[in-house]
Amino acid sequence: MKEIQKHQEDIVAACKRYKVSSLYAFGSVTREDFSKQSSDIDLLVVFQPIDLLDYSDNYLDLLFVLQGIFNRKVDLVTEKSLKNPYFIEEINKTKQLIYAEAS
């Protein structure tokens, strides 16, 4: 999670800009075996309620901004897209909250 923590301010700014409700890291970035050289960053995003056109724009813009922040490939998964129960279980085993919209 060190890779995430060192960019926390930029992540928060991006989440606010693109109407993110919550953002979670999961997979290797949450474990000690994360490779700074070769690992991508897996993130799960939940957006605030927005219309469909804004949703797709916010998703793509957020993805590009996060890839710029981390200077590496980011796999950005939306909560709405999760269907496979085995994948959901794997995400839930390692996911860690990195941003939550203030209530």
3-state secondary structure 29-65: HHCCCCCCCCCCEEEEEEECCCCHHHHHHHHHHHHHH
Note if the pTM is more than 0.85: yes
Residue 47: the pLDDT is 95
Closest CA to 63 of 78, 53, 74, 50: 74
The pLDDT tens digits for 37-92 are 778 999 999 999 988 888 999 999 999 999 999 999 999 999 989 999 999 999 99
- Element housing 21 (H / E): strand 20-26
* pLDDT band at 102; cut points 50, 70, 90: confident
The pLDDT tens digits for 13-39 are 999 999 999 999 999 898 887 877 778
Tokens linked to 71: 């200077």
CATH number of 2-100: 3.30.460.10
As beta bridge partners, residue 47 has 20
Residue 33: the pLDDT is 79
* pLDDT band at 95; cut points 50, 70, 90: very high
Residue 25: the pLDDT is 96
Residue 46: the pLDDT is 97
